[in-house]
């Protein structure tokens, strides 16, 4: 492997992946590293990717981002969860609300107390015990770490934002920290005899050499795929959607603090509310529905007038078999793609760059670093893949060929075992380092219709009287807190009126 020191990193691509990578690398390693980013105005970016999940706070904090400044400059709104309509069956809805539900008892998760309460007749709807859900549906929000005078978690949130403005915001941070930006289209990728990338050559003739290359060039994978020919593992047999159409529409008022995902006969639609507009899209399987019918579903489902022309996007769900190969690391769409059902792509960019930081090959690339990076990346994306398949597979829908195919497909063993364990015992088999919490799995499993047949005997530690009291208390605490919370819209109005 390359024994030379890594002094210069070249990032190919200036979409969300490129600019997140540039911002983190310069902020964290800028004293020892030179970073150049190449982007092409002629090619542009994918132009979608507007919903995030709570770990984005880690990124924002690491970059020293001021929340109000960031929100007002990216038209951001608060996201407390994702509502899934029509997924279990038409007319049904539930939410993957962020954060905890209920209140844990020593060593015993809330869900076990809920399951015991269900048998005893004390439990009501699972989401009556979710602060995030109750606040989301009532359009409320405030920064609240804990529920006062209790040990219960407060609101856990992420953001919806304008992807283009977000990339611009990160570009500002990166350039201030010393990133050199080169505008131009790469026409040639030069490799050395050992197969490493030496340089990229622009249409203008300019050559940019580097020690380590990040391929942030989008779906095509200019370096990892076209130059290094690293393979792609296709997951379409589990996730049949392969196309999307995106369109923007007029903003709705007041703005909802959650993402909507609305299933249709051959996929689903997203609705992402921003302060100045709404982002919409339809995701579908081209084997089950035509582009025209999908567009019709998108346009008839808008809650405001469209303000842009429809943008057509094709994708194949799967992952690059080696995200790091030779001196090239794929980050973003070039590394793989999972449809945006749980808003995980930006998160995967963030974790890839943090992983690179931790394993950074200062004194030359070692095979062990590459292997560890690839092992962790694979485990991470496969866990997310299983979570997304769950939404499709565990459904009561049989109203179309698409849903019948999803119900009947063979699923990964890892997922099959998780579902069966939960169904029979209420236990969630979740690796410690996994992105989705036990509560996330429980909400989607229960929301899709898997209600466990039993509960853990730990829940029997409470007497009947204590259990009834527990249920009443938790719901009443949550109801009282939500009652007093300000409106999400008022929170946004304050953010957008403060001088930056």
State the catalytic residues. Answer: 79
Among 214, 216, 282, 289, interactor with ligand FAD by CB under 6 A: 216
Q: HSE (CB half, 13 Å, CA atoms) of 144? A: 26
Contacts of 434 by beta carbon, 8 Å cutoff, 6+ apart: 383
Stretch that binds ligand FAD, among 37-45, 74-82, 420-428, 487-495 (CB under 6 A): 37-45
* Beta-strand pair 8-12/34-39: parallel
> Is 112 near ligand FAD (CB under 6 A)?
no
Rounded to whole angstroms, what are the CA distances from 44 to 47, 167, 252, 313, 425? Answer: 8, 12, 28, 14, 50
> Is 23 near ligand FAD (CB under 6 A)?
no
| Comparison of 436 and 470: residue with beta carbon closer to ligand FAD | 436
> Is 83 near ligand FAD (CB under 6 A)?
no
Stretch that binds ligand FAD, among 1-9, 132-140, 337-345, 422-430 (CB under 6 A): 337-345
> C-beta of 443: minimal distance to ligand FAD in Å?
19
Among 6, 9, 18, 455, interactor with ligand FAD by CB under 6 A: 18
Distance CA 96, CA 439 (A): 9
> C-beta of 139: minimal distance to ligand FAD in Å?
21
Distance CA 79, CA 17 (A): 21
Report the candidate in 217, 226, 230, 220 with the shortest Cα–Cα distance to residue 18. Answer: 217
Contact 498, 68 (CB under 8 A): yes
For 248, phi then psi, to 5°, come to -100, 150
| Comparison of 59 and 152: residue with beta carbon closer to ligand FAD | 59
Among 24, 39, 355, 447, interactor with ligand FAD by CB under 6 A: 39
> Is 439 near ligand FAD (CB under 6 A)?
no
> Is 361 near ligand FAD (CB under 6 A)?
no
User: Whose structure tokens read 């943008």?
Assistant: 311
Among 50, 85, 111, 162, interactor with ligand FAD by CB under 6 A: 50
> Is 15 near ligand FAD (CB under 6 A)?
yes
Among 35, 36, 49, 196, interactor with ligand FAD by CB under 6 A: 49
Query: Alpha-carbon Rg of the chain, whole angstroms?
Result: 23
> Is 132 near ligand FAD (CB under 6 A)?
no
Residues 266-325 that bind ligand FAD (CB under 6 A): 281, 313, 315
Stretch that binds ligand FAD, among 47-55, 108-116, 229-237, 476-484 (CB under 6 A): 47-55
Distance CA 370, CA 324 (A): 6
Pattern of binders to ligand FAD over 219-258, x per CB under 6 A? Answer: ---x---------------------x-x------------
> C-beta of 246: minimal distance to ligand FAD in Å?
6
Cα 283 from chain centroid (whole Å) = 16
| Comparison of 111 and 380: residue with beta carbon closer to ligand FAD | 380
Distance CA 272, CA 411 (A): 29
Pattern of binders to ligand FAD over 155-184, x per CB under 6 A? Answer: --------x---------------------
Helix 16-29 / helix 163-176 crossing angle, nearest 10 deg: 30
| Comparison of 349 and 389: residue with beta carbon closer to ligand FAD | 349
| Comparison of 69 and 206: residue with beta carbon closer to ligand FAD | 206
Stretch that binds ligand FAD, among 10-18, 68-76, 433-441, 483-491 (CB under 6 A): 10-18
> Is 332 near ligand FAD (CB under 6 A)?
yes
> Is 10 near ligand FAD (CB under 6 A)?
no
Per the rule left: phi > 0, alpha: psi between -120 and 50, beta: everything else, 314 is: beta
Helix (H) or strand (E) holding 267: strand 267-273
Rounded to whole angstroms, what are the CA distances from 197 to 275, 320, 405? Answer: 43, 18, 43
**Facing residues of 282 across strands?**
245, 269
For 181, phi then psi, to 5°, come to -105, 130
User: Whose structure tokens read 């565990």?
Assistant: 394
> Is 395 near ligand FAD (CB under 6 A)?
no
| Comparison of 74 and 134: residue with beta carbon closer to ligand FAD | 74
Distance CA 245, CA 286 (A): 12
Report the candidate in 51, 79, 56 with the shortest Cα–Cα distance to residue 136. Answer: 79
Q: Give me the torsion for CA of 14, 16, 22, 28, rounded to 10°.
A: 180
Report the candidate in 232, 221, 228, 82 with the shortest Cα–Cα distance to residue 157. Answer: 82
Among 75, 130, 134, 217, interactor with ligand FAD by CB under 6 A: 217
> Is 131 near ligand FAD (CB under 6 A)?
no
Contact 132, 99 (CB under 8 A): yes
Total residues interacting with ligand FAD, rule: CB under 6 A: 36
> C-beta of 479: minimal distance to ligand FAD in Å?
31
| Comparison of 131 and 346: residue with beta carbon closer to ligand FAD | 346
> Is 117 near ligand FAD (CB under 6 A)?
no
Contact 239, 317 (CB under 8 A): yes
Distance CA 200, CA 186 (A): 6
| Comparison of 190 and 416: residue with beta carbon closer to ligand FAD | 190
Q: Site residues (CB under 6 A) for ligand FAD?
A: 13-18, 38-40, 43-46, 48-52, 163, 185-186, 216-218, 222, 244, 246, 281, 313, 315, 332-333, 340, 343, 345-346
């Amino acid at each position: 492997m390359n024994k030379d020191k890594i002094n210069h990193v070249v990032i190919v691509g200036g979409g969300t992946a490129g600019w997140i990578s540039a911002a983190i690398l310069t902020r964290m390693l800028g004293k020892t590293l030179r970073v150049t980013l190449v982007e092409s105005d002629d090619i542009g970016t994918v132009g979608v990717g507007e919903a995030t999940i709570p770990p984005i706070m880690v990124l924002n904090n690491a970059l020293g981002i001021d929340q109000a400044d960031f929100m007002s400059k990216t038209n951001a709104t608060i996201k407390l969860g994702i509502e899934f309509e029509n997924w279990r069956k038409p007319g049904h809805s539930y939410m993957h609300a962020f954060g905890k539900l209920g209140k844990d008892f020593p060593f015993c998760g809330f869900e076990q107390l809920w399951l015991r309460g269900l048998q005893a007749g004390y439990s009501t709807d699972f989401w009556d015990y979710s602060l995030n859900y109750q606040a989301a549906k009532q359009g409320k929000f405030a920064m609240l770490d804990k529920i006062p005078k209790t040990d219960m978690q407060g609101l856990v949130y992420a953001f919806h934002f304008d992807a283009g403005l977000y990339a611009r915001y990160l570009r500002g941070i990166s350039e201030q920290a010393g990133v050199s930006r080169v505008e131009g289209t790469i026409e040639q990728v030069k490799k050395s005899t050992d197969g490493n990338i030496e340089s990229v050559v622009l249409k203008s003739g300019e050559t940019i050499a580097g020690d380590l290359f990040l391929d942030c060039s989008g779906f095509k994978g200019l370096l990892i795929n076209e130059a290094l020919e690293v393979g792609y593992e296709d997951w379409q047999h589990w996730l049949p959607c392969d196309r999307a159409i995106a369109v923007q529409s007029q903003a709705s008022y007041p703005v909802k603090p959650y993402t909507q995902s609305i299933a249709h006969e051959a996929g689903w639609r997203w609705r992402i509310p921003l302060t100045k507009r709404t982002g919409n899209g339809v995701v579908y399987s081209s084997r089950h529905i035509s582009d025209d019918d999908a567009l019709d579903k998108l346009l008839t489902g808008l809650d405001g007038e469209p303000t842009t022309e429809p943008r057509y996007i094709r994708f194949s769900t799967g992952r690059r078999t080696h995200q790091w190969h030779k001196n090239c690391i794929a980050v973003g769409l070039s590394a793989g793609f999972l449809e945006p059902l749980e808003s995980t792509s930006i998160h995967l960019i963030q974790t890839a760059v943090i992983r690179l930081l931790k394993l950074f090959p200062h004194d030359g690339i070692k095979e062990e670093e590459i292997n560890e990076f690839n092992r962790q990346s694979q485990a991470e994306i496969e866990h997310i893949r299983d979570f997304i398949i769950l939404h499709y597979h565990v459904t009561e829908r049989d109203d179309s060929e698409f849903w019948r195919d999803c119900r009947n497909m063979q699923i990964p063993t890892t997922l099959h075992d998780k579902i069966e364990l939960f169904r029979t015992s209420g236990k969630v088999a979740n690796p410690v380092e996994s992105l989705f919490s036990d509560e996330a799995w429980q909400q989607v499993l229960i929301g899709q219709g898997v209600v466990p047949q039993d509960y853990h005997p730990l829940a029997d530690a409470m007497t009947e009287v204590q259990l009834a009291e527990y249920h009443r208390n938790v719901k009443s605490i949550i109801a009282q807190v939500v009652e007093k919370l300000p409106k999400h819209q008022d929170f946004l109005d304050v953010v957008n009126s403060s001088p930056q």
